[in-house]
Structure 1
Amino acid sequence: MVTSKKLRKESEETVSIQPREQKKPLLMEIAWEVCNQVGGIYTVIRSKVPSMVEEWGENYCLIGPYFQNTAMVEFEPIEDLEESYFGRIVKRMQEMGYEVHYGRWLVTGKPRIVLLDFKNLLYKSNDLKHNLWNRHQISTLNAEALVDQVIVLGEMIRVFLTEFGETYGHKNDVVAHFHEWMVASALIDIRTDNVPISTVFTTHATMLGRYIAGNEPDFYEKLRYYNWEYEAQHYGVEAQAKIERFAAQKCHVLTTVSDVTAKECEVFFGRTCDLILPNGLNVTRFAATHEFQNLHLKYKEKIHQFVMGHFFQSYSWDLDNTLYFFTSGRYEFRNKGYDLTLEALKRLNFKIVQAGLDTTIVMFIITKNPVYSINPEVLQSRAVMEEIRETCEAIEKQVGEHLFHSSASDENHNLPDLNEFVDEYWRLRLRRTIQTWKTKKLPHTVTHLLKQEDDITNYLKYTNLLNHQQDRVKFVYHPDFISPTNPLFGMEYSQFVRGCHLGVFPSYYEPWGYTPLECVVRGIPTVTSDLSGFGDFMIQLMKDYESVGVYVVDRKEKSYDEAADQLADIMFNFVTMNRRDRIMQRNRVENISEIFDWTNLRSYYDTAHDLALKRKGVTRL
């Protein structure tokens, strides 16, 4: 390959000229989830921003859709449109009649951001779909409503990038990095039109992979035999799958987030991925080990309060000998491994009972599902427990005052009868409140009133895992996100994670897997699977991953039954560890978290952008 450096040397030998001064390249990252929280891609892009701004500075800009509700909170406009390359193109588009917003994204790093308001152009969707068929033979017949929005947004992105490329692309090195199919129609167009911009396309999960894996057994065993076009038509996602496939084929550099998903790309895109871009987070390390351990204790105490309010109305146990496990994520019963988790917990319950252990496990299942409201009985139990607390605090204050006065004035050195220090009012109030609270009903397995029964509730009923007193594994199915405004927990999700002991995520289909990574960066041991991108990455990263508190269930080679046994054994071994060993394991997990900081993982993105520029015959400074 003839490099630009070699060409420059040859030219200098023949003609004495000054080499052209090269400018630092310009980078635009484009995604549906820029300033628009829908799923995990928002976390990828938002958490990566500080590292990207550190590398690219003012030559970095993000492009996404404009939604007023989120923009009101996360967007700050820039009035002077002449102050940058990006602002000048925004001004030109506004003069052309498009609704375009330019400013700063109000996240750490405050990057430049261009938000495209496509809603007023939806009336043109049929014409744009007609053009999509004429130019690329992509059919949009019977496609979902989202496809119309995506195509209109894609047209606005195309106009912006075409104007940008024709204005600056001949003198500057420009990279456009597209995330997922929702913005990929613009990539197909600018490559067809030979706009002078280098392109990178990242698929975070293939459209067909997500559909097929959730509906058919033995997805990975059958993967190489699937006909992508037949499957796209079968699942009614032909438009989405074709946009994704054509973008993957036309881009300069094709990337995905894990080797697991790269195998899907070969089958569904007909192209081998050029690079793997693992996902990271902004990792906050503590100066001293005890700091994050103290946070674990602090937030575990908050979870204790919930458990007391939820369970102790019916029966109680020793909270000091209780472990909190949890799983969370999108509600995909099979893909996210909820089915395997429940089966393994059933077996774990049997193992603990058979072993005669007095340890109690509370398993929290956190996922979003349609609900009417929080179960009033759950709220009532929590409210009455709070009343008991307030009554006890009042009694404690009264007893304390009387005890001090008695101790200071009484010549009798024996401890007085404390009951004498409590007013009849408080004794009766406490007794009545406790009597009102206590019940013989079993604690609810679901905290909310679901709009309809689902696979989780059906499994719990079928296996009779309904929070019986003799069961050592208890279940709390919380079909909503955890937030500070939630009256049951009153804490951030990240705080809830810190308060738990083990995260359980044995996914069947998981291109990356942020949930186990979120455990690692917070010093919490976690279970993942070798079919998740994160689990596969850990296997490649180190041989002794279990010693640092990351457990990987073998779902590639083992049957469902064997994988359930393995997961039950992993959890049972964790239960039988002593407290000191669990503390040491949390220390080891926290120690490896820095590996996943974006300051380290951004280099994978740097390589992708370098390669895209080189494939256009230029090099990046």
Structure 2
Amino acid sequence: MSKRTASTSEFLPEARLLEVAWEVCNQVGGIYTVIRTKVPAAMRYWGAGRYCLVGPYLHNNIAAELEPMDDVQDIFGQAAAALKKRGYHVQYAEWLVTGKPRVVLLNPSSVDEKAINVVKYLLWKNHGIHIPPDNPLVNQAVAFGFLTKLFVDELVRLGGSEGKLLAHFHEWMAGLPILDIKREGLPVKTIFTTHATQLGRHLAINSPMFYAHLPFFNREEEAKKFGIEAEATIEYACAQSSDFFTTVSEVTARECKHLLKRKPDAVLPNGLNIERFETLYEFQNLHSKYKEQIHRFVMGHFFPAYAFDLDKTMYFFTSGRFEFKNKGFDLTVEALAHLNEQLKKEQADLTVVMFFVSKRNFYSIQPEVLHSRAVLDEIRQTCDAIQRQIGKRLFHESTMRDDHHLPNLNDFVDEYWKLRYRRTVQSWQTNKLPLLVTHRLVDEQQDEILNILAEKKLRNEKEDRVKIVYHPDFITSSNPLFGMDYIEFVRGCNLGIFPSYYEPWGYTPLECMACGIPSVTSDLSGFGDYLLHHFPDHEKNGMYVVERGKRSVDWSAKQLAGFLHKFLQQGLKERIMQRNNVENYSAAFDWENLIQPYNAVYEKAIAMFPGDQVVAMQEPVVG
């Protein structure tokens, strides 16, 4: 066997990469962001002809993200066409995201029930995996895995003896083909990435000492207790059968070692496409612009009851999937209660408005919230009309007056506008406290955030220095309360708070960093752990890490409150400098840098094929 050093352009024509995930063109959680944002960097190394994504076609809305490809002469198109001829619903298209990768979407519903039952029998016979009959999600995953394996078979057939195919599977829902690829000895090298173990997520929610007890959990017993035996067994089998087993952080790697009984071969951190601005002023201007939009919401929500100085108001927020303990919502409220008492004791003239943004089941937006926002808009329109009338009449008056004194501006306003102004403002004002939650929740009595807010006496009283806005829905540009996208909302805030108890990676603080917004994470999140190991001066540059691994909730809450109080003591110049430092750090998390650990795994996988050994992936494909 000869050994040679090769650039990407020399060896990539010999290899192809198939990346398989349930969230290709299908936004469910964070893996969608991983896949979508990684595409441009992957395409620069592999090129369109050697890189293809595979996902499930679950609903027709997906079509809006696709540009169907009529030319099926490349190997991926030929394999897709072969499955179509066999009667399966297959979409071969370009995904309309940056990089425009080729995607193959396989419809699980095109596999009939008889075929699924045969696949389930073979999973039990060949791999000892029992699939229950009444789990629709697992059934979909089984059907998707069956179709993906057929697609891989076609690629192997079309590629011939010279083809080198890598298949990278994300999570248990996509990983089933690994088992038969290994069993049949196909010339395919498999990589399996778990972003969060199925069992770990459930245990973290329900076990107060999850990390301390990790070595002692019985995998089979715990999976049965939580009713996830099929999912956990599939995940375990994929981890054991893959050529390379990977995860996204050292925190999750420790979890995998105990719960999946295999130490990951590599840690593959998650990045973002970091938009680098030409000047530092630009993201500062964006912060000011979007903060003004948040001001308008806050005026509408709080000012009917009482007003406070917006120039001395700071906007904090947390967001993510509603996992009360895992996402650290409980710890955040504890810390806010400590902060509120401290600021009141100090008689501080600062106000903190804290936003909780997480998707919950709700009936509608609260009528009072919509009414207040509508009346605020009417006040603005009335003031604009009065302003125009005063301006016009003042101009005429100034050209005719003999003296240089400013006239009484009230004389320039019609009685109609004076009456309308008084009536509108009067109808807006209320004696009720500002609502804690913006929507009518389906199960409000059992909501954990509302219950802990009541317990900690955070009620939006006038004397409270910490105010609460609980928004149980995504923030989008079509949202009638904010009228801005989520990233615009992030840019308008001052600090993101994400002290997670269980967080394999953590995109939310990384998104803050990309926007030049300081944030708080924890040492139990993959991102926080990465900061501790790679950025010793992280706190000085606006990235705070709360200790949770070996601390009590009360200790961590007080530490978080201390971080928040310290943040509030900064002056304007310090906050601007900190935002500059945060944004400067973001380049380290650009996919252009974090794609390298992925490439290293792919290099090792390619080196396993018979023939020439490749030493390094050096240059990306250009064009």
Partner of 1:285: helix, strand, or coil? coil
Q: Assess if the C-alpha contact under 8 Å between 1:399 and 1:418 holds in 2.
A: yes
Give the CA deviation at 1:127.
Answer: 2.3
**Amino acid corresponding to residue 491 of structure 2 in structure 1:** R
The letter of the residue matching 1:42 is: Y
How far 1:429 moved relative to its partner? 0.2
1:537 is matched with 530
Residues 535-574 of structure 1: pairs in structure 2 closer than 5 A = 535-574=528-567
- CA gap of 1:392–1:41, structure 2 versus 1, over 3 A, is same
Q: Please show how residues 98-497 of structure 1 align to structure 2 within 5 Å.
A: 98-123=88-113, 124-141=115-132, 144-168=135-159, 170-453=161-444, 454-497=447-490
The whole-number CA distance in structure 2 between the counterparts of 1:258 and 1:598 is: 15
CA distance 1:566–1:617, shift in 2 (3 Å) = farther
**Is the 1:35–1:70 Cα contact (8 Å) retained in structure 2?**
no
- Secondary structure of the corresponding residue to residue 548 of structure 1: coil
> Partner residue of 1:615?
608
Paired residues of 1:34 and 1:63 also in contact (CA < 8 A): yes
The separation in 2 between residues aligned to 1:286 and 1:511, in whole angstroms, is: 29
Counterpart contact for 2:75–2:158, Cα < 8 Å: no
Residue 44 of structure 1, aligned match among 34, 41, 44: 34
1:81 aligns to what SS in structure 2?
coil
Q: CA deviation at 1:234?
A: 1.2
Q: Residue 103 of structure 1: CA displacement? A: 1.3
Look up the match of 1:11: none
Q: Does residue 77 of structure 2 align to residue 87 of structure 1?
A: yes
**Residue identity matched to 1:166:** R
Any conservation in 2 of the 1:103–1:112 contact (CA below 8 Å)?
yes
Residues 102 and 192 of structure 1: is their aligned pair in 2 closer, same or farther, counting only changes over 3 Å?
A: same
Q: Residue by residue, what CA displacement relative to the aligned partner does 1:118-154 show, whole Å, maximum 9, x if unpaired? A: 2121413222211110110101236621000000110
Query: After alignment, is 136-145 or 404-413 more displaced?
Result: 136-145
The answer on whether the counterparts of 2:14 and 2:162 sit within 8 Å (CA) in structure 1 is no
Q: How has the CA–CA distance of structure 1 residues 33 and 612 changed in structure 2, closer, same or farther, with 3 Å as cutoff?
A: same
Would you say the 8 A contact 2:317–2:495 is kept in 1?
yes
Using the alignment, how far apart are the partners of 1:122 and 1:446 within structure 2? Answer: 45
Corresponding pairs, count: 606
Query: Is 1:5 aligned with 2:13?
Result: no
Which position in structure 2 is the counterpart of 1:97? 87
Contact 1:29–1:61 (CA under 8 A) maintained in structure 2? yes
Task: Name the structure, 1 or 2, with higher relative contact order (CA <8 Å, separation 6+).
Answer: 2
Q: Which runs of 5+ in 1 are unaligned?
A: 7-19
One-letter amino acid of the structure 2 residue matched with residue 596 of structure 1: F
- Cα deviation, 1:549-591, whole Å, max 9, x if unaligned, reads 0000000121111000000000000011111111110000001
Separation in 1, partners of 2:327, 2:134? 26
Aligned partners of 1:169 and 1:196 also within 8 Å: no
1:314 is paired with a residue of what secondary structure? coil
Residue 285 of structure 1 and its aligned partner are, at CA, apart by 1.1
Give yes or no for the alignment of 1:512 onto 2:505. Answer: yes
Aligned 8 A contact 2:164 2:609 in 1:
no
Q: 1:45 to 1:402 in 2, by over 3 A?
A: same
Is 1:35 matched with 2:28?
no
Q: Return the letter of the residue paired with 2:110.
A: N
CA offsets 1:475-515 (integer angstroms, 9 cap, x no match): 00000000000000000000000000000000000000000
Residue 574 of structure 2 corresponds to residue 581 of structure 1: yes
In 1, Cα distance between equivalents of 2:431 and 2:480: 24
CA–CA distance in structure 1, aligned partners of residues 529 and 353 of structure 2: 28
Identity of paired residues, percent? 52
Q: CA RMSD, aligned part only? A: 1.5
Q: Of 3, 13, 35, which aligns to 1:23?
A: 13
CA-CA distance at 1:244 after TM superposition: 0.6
Counterpart of 2:35, as a letter, is I
1:57 correspondence with 2:47: yes
Q: Map 1:57-76 to 2 at 5 A.
A: 57-58=47-48, 59-76=50-67
Please, what TM-score do these two structures have when normalized by structure 2? 0.95
- The 2-side partners of 1:537 and 1:194 are apart by 37
Kindly indicate whether the alpha-carbon contact (under 8 Å) linking 1:143 and 1:237 is maintained by their aligned counterparts in 2: no
CA distance in 2, matches of 1:188, 1:355: 63
Letter of the structure 1 residue corresponding to residue 307 of structure 2? S
1:399-423 per-residue CA deviation (whole Å, 9 max, x = no partner) reads 0111111112111211100000000
**Counterpart secondary structure, 1:524:** coil
Distance 1:96 1:119 in 2: 14
Secondary structure of the residue that 1:546 maps to in structure 2?
A: coil
The residue that corresponds to 1:16 in the other structure is none
Residue 614 of structure 1 and its aligned partner are, at CA, apart by 2.4
What displacement does 1:393 show? 0.3
3-state SS of paired residue (1:381): helix
Q: Give the secondary structure class of the aligned counterpart of 2:47.
A: helix
2:594 paired residue among 570, 595, 601: 601
2:58–2:108 contact (8 Å) kept in structure 1: no
| Aligned-residue offset at 1:216 | 1.1
Match of 2:519 in 1: 526
Specify whether residues 544 and 21 from structure 1 end up closer, same or farther in structure 2 by C-alpha distance, changes over 3 A only: closer
Matched residue SS, 2:67: strand
Distance 1:515-1:169 versus aligned 2 partners, 3 A rule: farther
Structure 1 contact 143–239 (Cα < 8 Å) conserved: no
Deviations 1:353-382 (CA, angstroms, capped at 9, x unpaired): 111210000000000000001011100000
Q: CA deviation at 1:229?
A: 1.2
Amino acid at match of 1:285: R
Aligned partners of 1:253 and 1:611 also within 8 Å: no
Counterparts of 2:272 and 2:168, CA distance in 1: 19
- TM-score normalised over the length of structure 1: 0.96
User: SS in structure 2 opposite 1:547?
Assistant: coil
2:134 & 2:610 partners in 1: Cα distance? Answer: 39
| Secondary structure of the corresponding residue to residue 162 of structure 2 | coil
Q: Are the equivalent residues in 1 in contact too, given 2:521–2:544 (CA < 8 A)?
A: yes
Q: Deviations over 1:77-118 (max 9, x none)?
A: 111212x11111111111222221111011111111101012
CA distance in 2, matches of 1:615, 1:260: 28
Counterpart residue identity of residue 201, structure 1: F
